[in-house]
Structure 1
Amino acid sequence: MALRLSIASPFEAETELESHLREAFDSLKPSLRPPFSLSIPNPHQYALLNAAILHAVLTEPHFAKTHIKHLHAAVTDGYATFLSLLRHLVLLLFPKLLPSVKTQLLSLTHQTVRVLGVGHDAVLLSLLRRIAAVDFTDSNLCLCSNLVSLFLEQFDSLLEESPQVLSFALYAFLRVLADHSGVEKFETLKLLEVHFCVKVIKEAFHVCLKIGRDLIRLLQDLLHVPEIRAVLNDIVFNPCVFDSAGFKFKGVSQIFCTRTSSRYSLLRISPEMETQLRFLLTNVKLGHHRRHQMWFARKFLNEPDKEFVIVDIVRFICCAHHPTNEIIQSDIVPRWALIGWLLTCCRRSHVVANVKLALFYDWLFFDERVDNIMNIEPAVLLMVHSIPQYIEITRGLLEFLLHLVDNYDVERKGMIVKGVASAFQLLVRKGVIRSIDVLTSCPALSPGLRDGLVRLLSVAKVGNSQV
């Protein structure tokens, strides 16, 4: 009987994937020792052999070199079948894998990336998603260290063959750095992460541009790291030092005008968290949502520092989960309501500010030709639906938005005014809200806030008429 891959309680059934790998190993065990068969397997036999070898490598570390040689000799599809199995294992079972199995899996990933097997990039993305936020366990830190070392070791080959994966890694490690900064015992790991992030920005800036505007948001969150502050200053004030001809002329505005793909926001959401969030937003009806929210909080926000994850959750909800019209018109929990609840889970003022920035970030540079109205919809609906019962939420959000317009980037304030005004105009035009009057004429809001919003919209209208 083959060894188990994962930790499970006595009454917990084996997953379908683990069962498949174990059964393949048991059925082919005699064939996994030299001398190996020279016959050419049919497709079914080949798939079974790949599953058996994967299980063998993960559970028989003393024979791992032999199994890897067997894989290299047997492969006929550029490792596509093998790496597909490896990716599914990471997505479905990684948190439950035995420590020894995780060690073997990471070693195996290094070897498959070295040969640039078909699907190595998907495996790397799956592992990046497995870096848990604000998790300082040895297992999570080991995963961080292994991955950042792998990206540094294979930097040149990945840049040539899979440049997009470097942009995903940069996004992930900029977020991870925010967790590790200021903690002395993580200094060695932090240095590796800083070195990798700076290397990508300096040596492959054209890759960084793929991230879009969220790149600047992440860099600004790390201004306390001298090396990161230096590269951000170059991006903003000295764009000619970078290797992108277009960027030398357009500068940071080019980044602000590029919408960040939803694939990046998925990186900081574990597969389990994504499943629960999508279930909440597609199956749970208002009135039945509180117990689901409490379960979610106990599962994913149960420690004080876990509130930092809410920034990533809000970004995911805005950018990566866009409900159908059928769901929007139903009594399913709307995105704005879930975000409103998440805001109440934040205890620290700087976390609240970062969550609000994540909520409004696409407003600042909104252009309906490239941006998606679904990214900006939750913020306006949260403001409108909080009147009058939760007016403090409306007041806080509108105040924060006007503060952003005035202070986020003074040099590009005209661009930001235009973006925010365009967002409001499109939301009204598409019927998301009936009129801006719901805010500008709200008696529960202070005259200063209402006048600020009116002034913002009138300035934008004047600016547009002069173009």
Structure 2
Amino acid sequence: MIEATRYEAGSPIEVSLREAFNLLEPQLRPPFPLKILTQSEYLNLNKAILYGILCEPHMANVHIKHLHGKVIDGYSFFTNTLTEVVNDLYKKLIDSAKHQLIWVTTEMVCVSAMGIDGLLVALLRQIVAGDFSEGNLWLCSKLVSLFLAKWDSLLEEEPLVLTSALYTFLRLLNDHYRLSGNSRFEVLKQMEIDFCVRMLREQFHLSFKIGRDLIRILQDLVYVPEFQPVWKDLLFNPGEFKTNEFHDISQLYLSRTSSRYFLLRITPEMETQLRFMLTHVKLGSQKRYQAWFAKKFLSTPERETLVIDIVRFICCSHHPPNEIIQSAVIPRWAIIGWLLKSCRKNHVEARVKLALFYDWLFYDEKVDNIMNIEPAILLMVNSIPKYVDMTQTLLEFLYILMDNYDVGRSNLINHGVLSAFCVLVGKGVVHSLDVLTNCDALSPFLKQRLVVLLSGLNANVPKVLQPAHTVQSLNSPEPSSLQYQLSSNGVPGTM
């Protein structure tokens, strides 16, 4: 069932399934015994059948019929155990077991098993961005095929899982669309496009539930012909989506994305390692853990796009308690600084910075969590004076976003950024912005722009934020190599 090294300890879930199978194997062959099972016997039978399905492909139909005849809990225990297998063992499963896993998942969708949404989300999390290996592309292909084939069933029984699939495939499509020269890639890309466009066109009321990060990942696909009409309607013809509550793209901007969507792009193993570093590793002792993480998950150039997902996860899904924040444990901003420094491609670096600042652009204290915007300000402040180039490029990038992200809604964006600065100082995340406005190493233009920016808050800003001196109106900055501009068709944030 799994590929294990000679000295590797057995997985508890694998051992449990195998022991149940070995114990009950005689009862798994027809004719099946007719008896009423105790709770313990029922659970063991579920485990034995699952192990048989994964390890005996030739007997899979027999095993699934046996399960159908014995099930008394809506398949809840069976499906939850399958989810455990995916989360804990997927990477170790032999190929035949992976094939069986997809097969039995499809069977569970057909019978509307309880917990099927959790199982599908667990499988989506196993698809790794920037990984073009045969096994990873195979899993992606199987899952998008499943979602297309079982569209009606899922829409009726588990509609929200379709939003998880949409977020996943939009994000993956940005990587996959760059592939060319292989007919298998073309088939996969077309299936991903078909699913995503169908969701956006036919089920926009569900797609809308993703919130503002739907726009962030969709903007990376503006060059894909099938998405260009979608973009035009989002910006100019919102009525085309036939969703009563949707009247303007600003409604998406102002809708915070749930943290569960960011978990979709981080495998359970990555999540475990990141949370360990951010919970147990002390600042100053993190280099070997970072080196291990980079070797394990970021070892190839294609994997660099994973940094975008990791930064979004750190900002929006990992919110440490006060005892961790006040301890010597490595803070989130330091990990993000390291990840930014590891970027080799300019376009990836820009997308990472957008992931860091995205909630700033539309920040509303009534809706948003201050922990989502905390890492960016602390990274800027704590990079002075040793890494002032980091502070400089981040501030410059923020200004470019404000000027160019969505010119037609610049007032909304300016208000969001001003609100972010106000809350960060007002809540004591930073005591004052003097560290930025009085920093001799920062460009005079950047400091002056910040003073002008903060003066726009007027009476709504605490006195600690009020600039000491007013400055003349400034011209727009000359963008550096990290230009972040609107495309010719007016789509926000294309690079």
TM normalised by structure 1 equals 0.97
Which residue does the alignment assign to 1:20?
16
RMSD value, Cα: 1.2
Which residue does the alignment assign to 2:332?
335
Check the 8 A contact 2:131/2:302 in 1, yes or no: no
Separation in 2, partners of 1:400, 1:127: 36
Separation in 2, partners of 1:116, 1:319: 32
Check the 8 A contact 2:204/2:243 in 1, yes or no: yes
- 1:457: how far off? 2.1
**Is 2:190 aligned against 1:191?**
yes
Q: Which digits, 9 at most, give the CA deviation of each residue in 1:314-344, with x for residues without a partner?
A: 0000000000100101110000000000011
Look up the SS of the partner of 1:131 in the other structure: coil
Check the 8 A contact 1:110/1:150 in 2, yes or no: yes
- 1:182: how far off? 2.6
Which residue does the alignment assign to 1:387?
384
Separation in 2, partners of 1:280, 1:461: 41
- 1:210: how far off? 0.9
Which residue does the alignment assign to 2:40?
44
Check the 8 A contact 1:21/1:54 in 2, yes or no: yes
Look up the SS of the partner of 2:200 in the other structure: helix
Identity among equivalent positions (%) equals 57
Which residue does the alignment assign to 1:451?
448
Letter in 2 for 1:343: L
**Is 2:96 aligned against 1:100?**
yes
Check the 8 A contact 2:90/2:98 in 1, yes or no: yes
**Is 2:129 aligned against 1:133?**
yes
Check the 8 A contact 1:219/1:229 in 2, yes or no: no
Letter in 2 for 1:332: V
**Is 2:278 aligned against 1:281?**
yes
Within a 5 Å distance, the mapping from 1:409-428 to structure 2 comes to 409-428=406-425
Separation in 1, partners of 2:397, 2:365: 22
Which residue does the alignment assign to 2:476?
none
Distance 1:319 1:78, change over 3 A: same
- 1:440: how far off? 1.8
Letter in 2 for 1:385: N
Separation in 2, partners of 1:40, 1:231: 56
Within a 5 Å distance, the mapping from 1:237-386 to structure 2 comes to 237-247=236-246, 249=247, 251-386=248-383
Within a 5 Å distance, the mapping from 1:400-415 to structure 2 comes to 400-415=397-412
Separation in 2, partners of 1:437, 1:232: 41
Distance 1:18 1:172, change over 3 A: same
Match of 2:85 among 82, 89, 93: 89
Within a 5 Å distance, the mapping from 1:52-63 to structure 2 comes to 52-63=48-59
Which residue does the alignment assign to 1:230?
229
Stretch deviating more after TM superposition (33-42 or 327-336): 33-42
Separation in 1, partners of 2:346, 2:317: 26
Q: Which digits, 9 at most, give the CA deviation of each residue in 1:198-238, with x for residues without a partner?
A: 00000100111111000000010111111122212211211
Stretch deviating more after TM superposition (220-229 or 273-282): 220-229
Look up the SS of the partner of 1:13 in the other structure: coil
Q: Which digits, 9 at most, give the CA deviation of each residue in 1:224-256, with x for residues without a partner?
A: 111122212211211001121010x3x111100
Separation in 2, partners of 1:178, 1:463: 40
Distance 1:417 1:460, change over 3 A: farther
Check the 8 A contact 1:383/1:394 in 2, yes or no: yes
Check the 8 A contact 1:417/1:460 in 2, yes or no: no
Count of residues in Structure 1 that have an aligned counterpart in Structure 2: 459
Separation in 1, partners of 2:5, 2:337: 37
Gaps of 5+ in 2: 462-495
Separation in 1, partners of 2:277, 2:438: 34
**Is 2:5 aligned against 1:6?**
no
Which residue does the alignment assign to 2:210?
211
Check the 8 A contact 2:208/2:252 in 1, yes or no: yes
Distance 1:241 1:197, change over 3 A: same
- 1:163: how far off? 1.2
Separation in 1, partners of 2:213, 2:455: 28
**Is 2:201 aligned against 1:202?**
yes
**Is 2:458 aligned against 1:461?**
yes
Letter in 2 for 1:120: I
Look up the SS of the partner of 1:316 in the other structure: helix
Look up the SS of the partner of 1:245 in the other structure: coil
Check the 8 A contact 1:31/1:37 in 2, yes or no: yes
Check the 8 A contact 1:364/1:420 in 2, yes or no: yes
Look up the SS of the partner of 1:369 in the other structure: coil
Separation in 1, partners of 2:286, 2:8: 28
Check the 8 A contact 2:233/2:240 in 1, yes or no: yes
- 1:138: how far off? 1.6
**Is 2:159 aligned against 1:160?**
no
Letter in 2 for 1:214: D
Letter in 2 for 1:221: D
Look up the SS of the partner of 1:299 in the other structure: helix
Letter in 1 for 2:198: K
Q: Which digits, 9 at most, give the CA deviation of each residue in 1:4-40, with x for residues without a partner?
A: x100111212111000000000000010011112212
Check the 8 A contact 1:204/1:243 in 2, yes or no: no
Which residue does the alignment assign to 2:477?
none
Look up the SS of the partner of 2:193 in the other structure: helix
Separation in 2, partners of 1:141, 1:297: 22
- 1:462: how far off? 7.6
Separation in 1, partners of 2:438, 2:415: 22
Letter in 2 for 1:246: E
- 1:461: how far off? 3.4
Separation in 1, partners of 2:457, 2:404: 17
TM normalised by structure 2 equals 0.91
Look up the SS of the partner of 1:12 in the other structure: coil
Letter in 2 for 1:86: L
Check the 8 A contact 1:125/1:267 in 2, yes or no: yes
Separation in 1, partners of 2:357, 2:296: 27
